[in-house]
């Protein structure tokens, strides 16, 4: 469900803004932090789009110059308009186009999430964010102990915070919220890791969640 996927992404941003003592927060605090999370998401999307727009301008300038300097157009009268010529698609240009497409997709998703969250005061997205946050607040010791126990070879305090927060959200969903299918929770946790954390985070998070599922019989 899009509402829950949006909720997970906003919850990750929400968790990044919380202090370690999560029990100090009240419902009104969560509501304000949700609003701040939506602003953060849309602002990040805006900044990424602005950054990529300069890459688009550079590509347009390159294409215009390539066309003007092509022998076909150089041989035409000065007053003549340039005619289109084939552009070689190098791996560099293909990579740039892919990056632009990915940023645009991310920006559209961010705006869609923001729109969904803003349209209705008590919408499904906000309700699910609050549910995860409240359940983690009530069970944060158990959730963090689960991460510590299963992160064999890793010191909890030295784990990447984004990884810890993704695991906190996912384990809270799996063990305490229990509304979304197990596979969906895991798949979207891995996707969040790919988008917001380090290169190795997705496999690490997938491995920890696999242990949680096995130990608690959540197949």
CATH number of the domain residue 141 falls in: 1.10.940.10
Alpha-carbon span 209 to 185, nearest angstrom: 9
On whether the CB atoms of residues 6 and 116 are closer than 8 A, the answer is yes
CA–CA distance, 115 with 107 (Å, rounded to integer): 12
Q: Which domain holds residue 147?
A: 2-216
DSSP single-letter state for residue 89: -
- What's the pLDDT band for 119 if we cut at 50, 70, 90? very low
What is the per-residue pLDDT for 206?
95
Tokens 């100090």 belong to 24
Q: Are 139 and 154 in contact (CB under 8 A)?
A: no
Report helix angle 124-150 to 161-172, nearest 10.
110
Distance CA 157, CA 161 (A): 9
Buried-state track 13-37, b at ≥16 Cβ within 10 A, e below 16: bbbeebeeebeebeeeebeebbeeb
- Mind listing the pLDDT tens digit for each residue in 176-207? 999 999 999 999 999 999 988 888 899 999 99
Counting Cα atoms < 13 Å in the Cβ hemisphere of 115 gives: 7
Confidence of residue 21 (pLDDT cuts 50, 70, 90): low
- Nearest-angstrom CA–CA distance, 13 and 125: 14
Segment 29-46, tens digit of pLDDT: 666 666 676 777 677 777
The model's pLDDT over 123-165, given as tens digits with 9 standing for 90+, comes to 777 788 888 988 998 899 999 999 999 988 888 888 889 999 9
Domain count, the chain: 1
Q: Determine the angle formed by the axes of helices 2-17 and 91-119, rounding to 10 degrees.
A: 90
SS3 label, residue 137: helix
Q: Using CA atoms, how far apart are residues 92 and 63, in angstroms rounded to an integer?
A: 14
Which of the two residues, 27 and 94, has the higher pLDDT score?
94
């Amino acid at each position: 469900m899009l509402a829950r996927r949006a909720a997970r992404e906003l919850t990750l941003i929400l968790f990044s803004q919380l202090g370690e003592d999560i029990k100090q927060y009240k419902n009104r605090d969560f509501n304000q932090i949700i609003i701040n999370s939506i602003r953060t998401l849309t602002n990040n999307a805006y900044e990424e789009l602005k950054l990529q727009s300069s890459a688009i301008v550079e590509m347009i300038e390159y294409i215009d110059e390539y066309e003007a300097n092509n022998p076909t157009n150089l041989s035409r009268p000065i007053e003549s308009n340039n005619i289109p010529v084939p552009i070689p698609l190098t791996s560099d240009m293909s990579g740039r186009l892919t990056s632009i497409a990915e940023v645009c997709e991310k920006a559209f998703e961010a705006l869609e999430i923001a729109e969904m969250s803003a349209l209705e005061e008590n919408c499904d997205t906000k309700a699910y964010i609050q549910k995860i946050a409240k359940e983690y607040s009530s069970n944060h010791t158990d959730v963090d102990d689960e991460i510590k126990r299963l992160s064999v070879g890793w010191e909890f305090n030295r784990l990447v915070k984004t990884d810890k927060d993704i695991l906190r959200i996912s384990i809270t969903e799996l063990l305490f919220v229990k509304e979304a299918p197990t596979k969906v929770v895991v798949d979207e946790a891995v996707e969040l890791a790919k988008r917001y954390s380090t290169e190795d985070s997705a496999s690490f998070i997938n491995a920890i969640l696999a242990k949680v599922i096995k130990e608690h019989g959540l197949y």
